[in-house]
């Protein structure tokens, strides 16, 4: 996932299910981007927050959430990270959301530790 040392954020799309757990065919609302994405992020926040996995060095270099912001804290975070790091879109969908209720039902954890 993080073979390229210049990639700081890996993200994906979200799968949607109904209240019965059946999959919904719902188009993804935004175009996804990889690489240097600052220009695209300035226009639109296209990173589904719950799907993003970030490199520890992003936090160490660029900080975490700015809790002084009333909203858009994830967008601010992505914009700051995009200045120094590449983003990588992955077509896998590790997160499932119950459509209409907005509840996160499952997040699959991935081991992203870098070998020493």
3-51 pLDDT per residue, tens? 899 999 999 887 777 777 777 777 777 889 999 999 999 999 999 877 8
> Is the residue at 114 inside a domain?
no
Distance, in Å, from the CA atom of 32 to the CA atom of 90, rounded to the nearest integer, reads 9
Domain count, the chain: 1
Tokens of 62: 């660029």
Query: Does pLDDT of 64 surpass 60?
Result: yes
- Enter the DSSP assignment of 36: S
Q: Please, are residues 2 and 10 in contact by the beta-carbon 8 Å criterion?
A: yes
Q: Is position 35 within any domain?
A: yes
Q: Is 75 inside any structural domain?
A: yes
Is there a domain that residue 48 lies in? yes
pTM of the model: 0.74
According to DSSP, the residues that pair with 97 across neighbouring strands are 16, 104
> What per-residue confidence (pLDDT) applies to 101?
52
Residue 15 lies in a domain: yes
Q: What is the residue range of 36's domain?
A: 7-107
């Amino acid at each position: 996932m993080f073979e390229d040392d210049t990639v700081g954020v890996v993200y994906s799309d979200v799968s949607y299910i109904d209240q019965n757990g059946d999959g919904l065919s719902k188009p993804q609302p935004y175009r996804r981007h990889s690489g240097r994405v600052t220009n695209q992020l300035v226009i639109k926040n296209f990173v589904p927050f719950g799907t993003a996995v970030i490199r520890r060095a992003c936090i160490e270099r660029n900080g975490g959430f700015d809790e002084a912001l009333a909203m858009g804290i994830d967008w601010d975070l992505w914009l700051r990270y995009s200045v120094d790091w590449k983003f990588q879109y992955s077509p896998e969908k590790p997160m499932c959301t119950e459509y209409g209720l907005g509840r996160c039902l499952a997040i699959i954890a991935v081991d992203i530790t870098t070998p020493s």
